[in-house]
Amino acid sequence: MEKLLNELSSECGSAYNVGSDIEINVEIPENLKRVSTLGLPSVAENDLFRHFTNLSRKNYALSTVFYPLGSCTMKYNPLINERIAKIKEFISIHPYQPSESIQGVLEVMYDLEKDLCEISGMDHFSLQPAAGAHGEFTGLLIIAKYFKSIKQKRTQIIVPDSAHGTNPASAALAGFEVVSLKSESDGGILPEKLKEILTPEVAAVMLTVPNTLGIFEKNILEIADMVHKNGSLLYYDGANLNAVMGITRPGDMGFDVMHINLHKTFSTPHGGGGPGAGPVGVKAFLEYFLPVPRIEKKKSKFVLNYKKHKSIGKIEAFFGNFQVLLRAYAYMKSLGGEGLKNVSQQAVLNANYMLSRFKGKIDIPAGNRCMHEFVLSPKSLLKNNLRTLDIAKRLLDYGYYAPTVYFPLTVEEAIMVEPTETESKETLDAFIDTVIKIIFEEMVQIPQKVKDAPVNTSVRRLNEIEAARKPILKWE
């Protein structure tokens, strides 16, 4: 067990130091002075180094294991991107430097916007949103502002029940009422069903294409037409863009607003939960509403334009997660258009190969083909009181991070697998064999061992109920 920092703390020393070449006394008025103890630990650098290094070794990560976490696109994070993200002339830059001293920064952002437009078929992008959900929220505010500008009162957003939880949460945050649309068994939308709830109150329909079951929305053109005829807008959740780059484009499908998760499709690291970036793209008629500042090119010089009176405003301070944007742009320059297309083809090939190998053994509610990910439902195979959760935990023992489980909510006992394009056939085969072994051999022959999993991790199964019942949220 790794000690906590407060348990490591001693009077022996601290890791960092700071000195000053200026001798000057500062007086802090008594009423403003901190009197309570800071309560920070004091740990020597050597011990601190060991502490965090040891902690890191308790993580499964992309750099150590196959990480088929569905919907998260855990593809290889190229090291050249990290090297570029550490270039001093990028990271030691203050956001309020005059634009003539940050032409390189603005060039990266300007060109990245252009490339995202080309990939997605949208007309303009803003790079400001810090994550996918933040992008959704931004897109929905743009939609709200658009309807306000044309003096239409539309209060609802339609979200399929197979969508990510962020969709309805973002819509609510943007002040809309969420109308849930029941999806079909493959996660898709029936135009007839959509029609029933597509009232004049509807501002937008949010769709994930391919959907969270990994299926392309085959009626997309009909849906787009229907939505637009109703005067509503169509929102594209770009979480699954990795399936279709260079093959088809949301803008061409009829989407008006979208976001892209750069930390998924464009290989920037997930950082243990962030930071990410969620650029928002729009069709030309919505450009005025994008967050400020906009980056513009004037006679080969890049400038920041804050004077956009119809803009929704600022969605966070400064310009967005520049370091993340930089990595994504570096990735694009490594791959180019052809490389990006190959990425999607390979991602879809890998997923379909896995699916084909599971076919006939484990239920696949969405059918025999998929795009870049697929969902298994082992419900009918579960024996001896075992559940999908147990399969996930057992996979940890075999040195795999578990796929996403119990999502989408529309599939019982769901196991959602997204291999990505950066894994070898050998890796995929070994994983498939392991899943089959757990379900068809271990669950039958050694159910207790599956129930007791994991045993090879730094801790065994953790009591989550107790954690929520009596929350301990900091050092005691």
Partner 1 sequence: MDYTQQNQKDKQKMLETIGINDVSELFDTIPENLKVRSINVSGGKTEQEVLDYFLNIASKNKVLISFRGAGIYDHYVPSLVDEIVGRSEFWTAYTPYQAEASQGTLQAIFEYQSLICALTGLDVANASLYDGATSTAEAALLAFRVSGKRKLLLSSALHPEYIQTLKTYLQNLKIEIIFIPLSADSSVEKGFVDSFNNDDVAAVIVQSPNYFGIIEDMKFISEFAKKQKSLFVAVVNPLSLGIFQSPGEYDADIAVGEGQVLGSCMSVGGATLGFMAVKKALEWKMPGRIVGQTVDKDGKRGFVLTLQSREQHIRRSKATSNICTNASLNALAGCVFLSGWGNNGFKNLAVINMSKARYAFNKIRFLEGFNTKFENQTFFNEFVIETKKDVKKINKVLLKNGILGPLDLSNVGNSFKNCLLFCVTEKRTKIEIDKLVELLAKI
Binding positions for partner 1, 215-244, rule CB under 8 A: 215-216, 218, 220-221, 244
Who contacts 244 (Cβ-Cβ below 8 Å, separation ≥6)?
209, 210, 216, 344, 371
Rank residues 284 and 468 by Cβ distance to partner 1 and give the closer one.
468
Q: Measured between alpha carbons, how far is residue 361 from residues 312, 350, 447 in Å?
A: 51, 18, 19
| Binder among 66, 68, 105, 234 for partner 1 (CB under 8 A) | 105
- Could you tell me the smallest distance in angstroms from the CB atom of residue 167 to partner 1? 8
| Binder among 352, 377, 388, 434 for partner 1 (CB under 8 A) | 352
Tell me: does residue 152 bind partner 1 (CB under 8 A): no
Region for residue 360 given its phi and psi (left: phi exceeds 0; alpha: psi -120 to 50; beta: otherwise): left
| Binder among 66, 68, 102, 415 for partner 1 (CB under 8 A) | 102
- Could you tell me the smallest distance in angstroms from the CB atom of residue 369 to partner 1? 7
Q: How many residues sit close enough to partner 1 to count as binding (CB under 8 A)?
A: 200
Rank residues 88 and 229 by Cβ distance to partner 1 and give the closer one.
88
Tell me: does residue 304 bind partner 1 (CB under 8 A): no
Who contacts 140 (Cβ-Cβ below 8 Å, separation ≥6)?
157, 170, 171, 173, 174, 176, 204, 235
Contact criterion met (CB below 8 Å) for 221 and 253:
yes
Beta bridge partners of 124: 282
Rank residues 200 and 337 by Cβ distance to partner 1 and give the closer one.
337
Helix 132-149 to helix 166-173 angle, to the nearest 10 degrees? 40
| Binder among 113, 373, 421, 442 for partner 1 (CB under 8 A) | 421
Within residues 33-62, the interface with partner 1 by CB under 8 A covers 33-43, 45, 48-49, 52-53, 55-62
Identity at 386, one-letter amino acid code: L
- Could you tell me the smallest distance in angstroms from the CB atom of residue 285 to partner 1? 20
**Distance between CA atoms of residues 332 and 246, nearest Å:** 12
Rank residues 284 and 317 by Cβ distance to partner 1 and give the closer one.
317
- Could you tell me the smallest distance in angstroms from the CB atom of residue 473 to partner 1? 5
| Binder among 22, 150, 196, 300 for partner 1 (CB under 8 A) | 22
Tell me: does residue 2 bind partner 1 (CB under 8 A): yes
Rank residues 63 and 305 by Cβ distance to partner 1 and give the closer one.
63
Within residues 110-129, the interface with partner 1 by CB under 8 A covers 115, 118-119
Q: Which residue has the tokens 């085959």?
A: 218
- Could you tell me the smallest distance in angstroms from the CB atom of residue 220 to partner 1? 8
- Could you tell me the smallest distance in angstroms from the CB atom of residue 437 to partner 1? 19
* Closest alpha carbon to 238 in 358, 122, 145, 154: 122
Within residues 178-217, the interface with partner 1 by CB under 8 A covers 178, 215-216
| Binder among 201, 225, 412, 452 for partner 1 (CB under 8 A) | 452
Within residues 262-301, the interface with partner 1 by CB under 8 A covers 263, 267, 269-276, 278, 291
- Could you tell me the smallest distance in angstroms from the CB atom of residue 380 to partner 1? 23
Contact criterion met (CB below 8 Å) for 154 and 202:
yes
| Binder among 123, 172, 382, 436 for partner 1 (CB under 8 A) | 172
Tell me: does residue 444 bind partner 1 (CB under 8 A): no
Who contacts 392 (Cβ-Cβ below 8 Å, separation ≥6)?
402, 403, 405, 415
The bridge status of strand 415-417 relative to strand 404-405 is antiparallel
**Distance between CA atoms of residues 433 and 180, nearest Å:** 38
- Strand order of the β-sheet with 124-126 is 124-126, 280-282, 257-260, 233-238, 202-208, 156-160, 177-181
What are residue 470's phi and psi, to 5 degrees?
-125, 80
Within residues 67-96, the interface with partner 1 by CB under 8 A covers 67, 69, 72, 74-78, 80, 82-84, 87-96
**Distance between CA atoms of residues 434 and 437, nearest Å:** 5
Contact letters for partner 1, residues 383-412 (x by CB under 8 A)? ---------xx--x----xx-x--x-----
Binding part of the chain for partner 1, among 225-233, 282-290, 326-334, 436-444 by CB under 8 A, reads 326-334
Rank residues 19 and 284 by Cβ distance to partner 1 and give the closer one.
19
Tell me: does residue 342 bind partner 1 (CB under 8 A): yes
Classify residue 116 by burial, with Cβ atoms within 10 Å: 0-12, 13-18, 19+: buried
